[in-house]
Structure 1
Amino acid sequence: MEFSVKSGSPEKQRSACIVVGVFEPRRLSATAEQLDKISDGFISNLLRRGDLEGKPGQMLLLHHVPNVLSERVLLVGCGKERELDERQYKQIISKTISKLNETGSMEAVCFLTELHVKGRDSYWKVRQAVETTESSLYTFDAMKSKKDETRRPLRKLVFNVPTRRELAIGEQAINHGLAVAHGTKLCKDVANMPPNVCNPAYLASQAKQMAEQYQKLQVRTVGEEQMAELGMHAYLAVGRGSENESIMTVMTYNGATDANAKPIVLVGKGLTFDSGGISLKPGEAMDEMKYDMGGAAGVLGTMRALCELDLNINVVAVLAGCENMPDGKSYRPGDILTTMSGQTVEVLNTDAEGRLVLCDALTYVEQFDPDVVIDTATLTGACVIALGKHATGMLANQNSLAHDLTAAGEASGDRCWRLPLWDDYADQLDSPFADMSNLGGRAAGTITAALFLSKFTKKYHWAHLDVAGTAWNSGANKGSTGRPVPILTQYLLGRAGQSSVE
């Protein structure tokens, strides 16, 4: 898809389609009023006859509107003008793109970016329109022998901004939005791959392909032999029952002008399939456990966005690839594992495996002397119960980092909600036989899982994003959401001083 911005009057646009808004009840937006005026009331006459009320998402496609140069005019219902908020704006954009793609309009000029959205500027409206457009057009058909193809798909979209002064803002918004969209697409593509294709080696191959494209990115892998030498016995235990080797992929992006600048470290849980191991999961929806590498897919997608944005920061990303399967060699409930940090863990449930992989990865990244570390993981079903599919759970050992992530979530629309990391919950992890257990019980499961990880993050500022509820959708629309690429990319933009147009 090709995006651009311009500032101009609708009557001067020669395009396959012009998109304008109509508010409820039958109130024309400013741009629609201009078209109505030059068409001698053609549009308002249609509305008076009841062809469109203006309810959110209603569509009316008009052909050959008098005195309008464009072939079509698409009227889009936007609801009540004073109630247009972020969520409704993105829903309207999504429905508009779907409609345009059906009409055979291969290009369009969209004036919806001129609508007033509470508390949001042109940069936000254009960027969200780009990201929403790409998301609306996304399909995953890599494994289908017959692919559905749109005969005349939408290929070019022009967003109008109110004044020429905002053209630079709009162009920056497109650049940022495209980078996030491309990173999100990579995240979705990798996460949606079946587990017989997407294993730890596949994650590594995707990272290596990216490194071939971008000079500032280097990739290396840590296999089981090296993990054993490093003492990563918790990580190794989880993958013991699988035929697929556990592989930790390390991606290093050097973009800072100061080569010695401390890196931001991103760690993604990469359980390419989680059967639960000996503590076997129920069979229902077990196919969705291919998404247990959603954290690693999100980190991989974020690195794609980072490389495209060419930000002036240093970032290290770790994809903690592993597979948890039942086998004669699998680790068991009751086993005691020695982690890379030297701390010991009693295994109470082999389905609480993500934290065992992550704890060694979090110890491993100490060597980079990180400025901050952010891990992201589909870690706990408790987070789904607590926050549903709308907000990512966030816990942190430093307030400023938590604040920055919350702000990045609000700015990107990929929101998170902070949960407490209080020591009051710590005794739930007590073990009579080891330094700790890997399970804290049913109560406050997201918090106790993060508290477990916090025991391995004492040497740096750290935040944990639990994306168990937000990384994928179930049901008829099953598939990866691409989260948390937007929030992580927005955080990196902020750290590089480019959270909005400069």
Structure 2
Amino acid sequence: MLKSAVKGSCSLFSCNSSVSVLLRIVPARSISTSSFLLDSAEEKSNMLSGRGMVVGCYEGEDGAELTEAGKTLDAKYNNKITRILKISGQQVKDGDSRLFYDISEDLTHLALVGLGKRGPEEKQEDMLMSRHNVRCAAAAGASLLKKAKVKEIHLEGLSDPEAAAEGTHLALFTYDDMKGKKPTNEEPTNEKPSVLLWDGSSEGEREQWGRGCVLAEGQNFARWLMETPSNHMTPTDFVDAVSRKLGQCENKDKIEISPRPYSWIKEKKMGSFLSVAQGSDEDPWFLEIKYNGATSPDTNPLVLVGKGITFDSGGISIKPAAGMPEMKADMGGAACVTGTTLAVAMLGLPINIVSLMPLCENMPSGKAVKPGDVVTAMNGKTIEVDNTDAEGRLILADALCYAHSFNPTGIIDMATLTGAVGVALGSGAAGTYTTSESMWERFHEASRTTGDRLWRMPLYNLYSKQMKSRIADINNLGTPSRSAGSCTAAAFLKAFVECDEWCHLDIAGVMSGGTADLPYLSKGMSGRPTRTIIQYIQQLCSSQQ
């Protein structure tokens, strides 16, 4: 995939400056357009099967200023882009997008997108704004062209090809696996166009574009796993889907996939994990994936741990009906771990990684764990189950214990763990807990780069004290139960961690897309913060070279 993404291009385009131009102006941050009227069926057919181009421009003092690639294309078309800009109104502000038609016989559509003001990189809103603007602009342009039913979308790099690739491929993601086929007399409305980098790009720009495509693919695979209905994504289905995907990627020879069955889980004495799984008729699995990218297979790995509840009813402490359909995505942690592993393998990063995912459903039944039960984790600690809907920490406890058996350089766990983190942070950032300053600094920098933000939360001893049980070693719910819920959940996990380099990401607040601050993510499951974890690993590899 990386190889094809880096080298994918197509010859562009002959110029015909005498052809008239149609224009549609789209408001800031809007990435939709209505259909347009053409004179004939033949003309309409040509438009619908045509090629489109996304070109960027900055806010200049005297009006819109094209990127360097845009200027090259403008010269190729005898300054036609500049002329139609003057006709339509000079300034194209950050987030604006304008769609022009019939530029030449071979360029049927041109999406002009605003990148904001040109200048040095600024960190605003805890992210690199120029990269964020490129993602949003690429997404707006690609979405306009897709809406216009363009079959082939070309992009210039918008001064940051990696960010442009991310924004484009994230914006074009759709989940339509469950939709029936359209009648044969209806035109398909959701057909995915091909996306290519402009052939005037340098080799370095192609490499950046290729990285961005891989980062987006990792996140989109996590989104696909999260979007799939739970009756089509049981623990067994998850194992099968991940095994197929990783078995097809580049560097698959460096990947080892080991699905561990119930008998193995029981043999490892993962009583905390099994207590959650016992209420469902679906078999639990403990999915272990190794990526051996370091020079030596004996190099100590980084361990990733992801919560894999493929449906969370709450168990005996059953959830209210409102919002329960989204609990098909309660395996978001495992999905993000998988997407990260996929991207790391595709990029061929020089690191060893072990990915661990306990997979099961949390269901009520006559066999289900009950409030007040006491279960025993892999490390021998006893846990009083005060609330069966606090199940994610129960399966993670055993996974974290097992993670230490690999003598890891660090452990990162991620989970759609608490609604409380959504109350605290909303969709603005994932809650991040760590006692390692170096991990936080690297993660914080990674999140600024990707625009998928993290926010550090406290791990005070106070929260550990609130997890005490009267009859067991620890309680799975803090006291008082409605106080600092995300913090006490992290404190619970901390009780099962001995590694100094450990970080917990509570991603429940960012599990859904369609938010105004990230317009390149449509409604539905977001796959966040997959790209930030990949970026963290890339930075870690760079620091070790």
- Shorter-chain TM-score tier: 0.7 to 0.9
Q: 1:341 corresponds to which residue?
A: 379
Structure 1 residue 368: Cα displacement: 0.9
User: Deviations 1:407-431 (Å, cap 9, x if unpaired)?
Assistant: 2222222221111112122221121
Q: 1:179 corresponds to which residue?
A: 214
Structure 1 residue 495: Cα displacement: 2.7
Q: Does 1:101 align with 2:142?
A: no
Q: Does 1:466 align with 2:506?
A: yes
Structure 1 residue 110: Cα displacement: 3.2
Q: Does 1:224 align with 2:259?
A: no
Q: 2:489 corresponds to which residue?
A: 449
Q: 1:270 corresponds to which residue?
A: 308
Give the letter for the 1:27 counterpart. Answer: A
Q: Distance in 2 between matches of 1:234 and 1:91?
A: 43
Q: Distance in 2 between matches of 1:254 and 1:11?
A: 44
Give the letter for the 1:179 counterpart. Answer: V
Q: Distance in 2 between matches of 1:381 and 1:264?
A: 28
CA 1:454–1:133 in structure 2 vs 1: closer, same or farther (change >3 Å)? same
What's the secondary structure of 1:365's corresponding residue? Answer: helix
Give the letter for the 1:484 counterpart. Answer: P
Q: 1:490 corresponds to which residue?
A: 535
Q: 2:135 corresponds to which residue?
A: 90
Structure 1 residue 304: Cα displacement: 1.2
Give the letter for the 2:540 counterpart. Answer: R
Q: Does 1:29 align with 2:69?
A: no
CA 1:27–1:287 in structure 2 vs 1: closer, same or farther (change >3 Å)? same
CA 1:13–1:129 in structure 2 vs 1: closer, same or farther (change >3 Å)? farther
CA 1:18–1:330 in structure 2 vs 1: closer, same or farther (change >3 Å)? closer
CA 1:338–1:474 in structure 2 vs 1: closer, same or farther (change >3 Å)? farther
2:440 is matched with which residue: 393, 396, 402? 402
1:137 is matched with which residue: 172, 185, 202? 172
Give the letter for the 1:277 counterpart. Answer: G
Q: Does 1:288 align with 2:323?
A: no
Matches within 5 A, 1:205-354: 205-210=240-245, 212-213=247-248, 214-354=252-392
Q: Do 1:52 and 1:60's aligned partners in 2 also have CA atoms closer than 8 Å?
A: no
CA 1:150–1:452 in structure 2 vs 1: closer, same or farther (change >3 Å)? same
Q: Distance in 1 between matches of 2:15 and 2:504?
A: 48
- Percent identity for Structure 1 against Structure 2: 35
Q: Distance in 1 between matches of 2:8 and 2:314?
A: 53
Q: Do 2:51 and 2:109's aligned partners in 1 also have CA atoms closer than 8 Å?
A: yes
Q: Distance in 1 between matches of 2:172 and 2:374?
A: 48
User: Deviations 1:421-444 (Å, cap 9, x if unpaired)?
Assistant: 121222211211111111112221
What's the secondary structure of 1:340's corresponding residue? Answer: coil
Q: Does 1:425 align with 2:447?
A: no
User: Deviations 1:305-341 (Å, cap 9, x if unpaired)?
Assistant: 1221122211110111011001111111111111111
**Mean Cα displacement is larger for which, 294-303 or 43-52?**
43-52
What's the secondary structure of 2:175's corresponding residue? Answer: coil
CA 1:382–1:63 in structure 2 vs 1: closer, same or farther (change >3 Å)? same
**Mean Cα displacement is larger for which, 99-108 or 259-268?**
99-108
Q: 2:235 corresponds to which residue?
A: 200
Q: Distance in 2 between matches of 1:211 and 1:154?
A: 24
CA 1:406–1:283 in structure 2 vs 1: closer, same or farther (change >3 Å)? same
Q: Do 1:363 and 1:457's aligned partners in 2 also have CA atoms closer than 8 Å?
A: yes
Q: Distance in 2 between matches of 1:311 and 1:76?
A: 33
Structure 1 residue 6: Cα displacement: 11
Q: Does 1:415 align with 2:453?
A: yes
User: Deviations 1:280-324 (Å, cap 9, x if unpaired)?
Assistant: 101001000011000001111111112211222111101110110
1:61 is matched with which residue: 100, 115, 127? 100
Give the letter for the 1:134 counterpart. Answer: H
Q: Does 1:190 align with 2:214?
A: no
Q: Distance in 1 between matches of 2:72 and 2:467?
A: 66
Structure 1 residue 225: Cα displacement: 2.4
**Mean Cα displacement is larger for which, 476-485 or 31-40?**
31-40
CA 1:36–1:442 in structure 2 vs 1: closer, same or farther (change >3 Å)? same
CA RMSD of aligned residues (A): 3.2
Q: Which runs of 5+ in 2 are unaligned?
A: 17-49, 123-128, 516-520
CA 1:209–1:34 in structure 2 vs 1: closer, same or farther (change >3 Å)? closer
Give the letter for the 1:74 counterpart. Answer: A
What's the secondary structure of 1:142's corresponding residue? Answer: coil
Q: Distance in 1 between matches of 2:213 and 2:78?
A: 39
CA 1:455–1:17 in structure 2 vs 1: closer, same or farther (change >3 Å)? same
Q: Distance in 2 between matches of 1:351 and 1:69?
A: 58
Q: Does 1:157 align with 2:208?
A: no
Q: Distance in 2 between matches of 1:240 and 1:336?
A: 14
Q: Which runs of 5+ in 1 are unaligned?
A: 115-124
Q: Distance in 1 between matches of 2:227 and 2:193?
A: 24
CA 1:130–1:420 in structure 2 vs 1: closer, same or farther (change >3 Å)? same
Q: Distance in 1 between matches of 2:348 and 2:96?
A: 37
Q: Do 2:303 and 2:412's aligned partners in 1 also have CA atoms closer than 8 Å?
A: yes
Q: Distance in 1 between matches of 2:73 and 2:264?
A: 67
Q: 1:120 corresponds to which residue?
A: none
Q: Distance in 2 between matches of 1:484 and 1:409?
A: 8
CA 1:156–1:290 in structure 2 vs 1: closer, same or farther (change >3 Å)? closer
User: Deviations 1:107-133 (Å, cap 9, x if unpaired)?
Assistant: 45534613xxxxxxxxxx211111111
Q: Distance in 1 between matches of 2:485 and 2:257?
A: 34
Q: 1:118 corresponds to which residue?
A: none
Q: Distance in 2 between matches of 1:61 and 1:383?
A: 44
Give the letter for the 2:498 counterpart. Answer: K
What's the secondary structure of 2:510's corresponding residue? Answer: coil
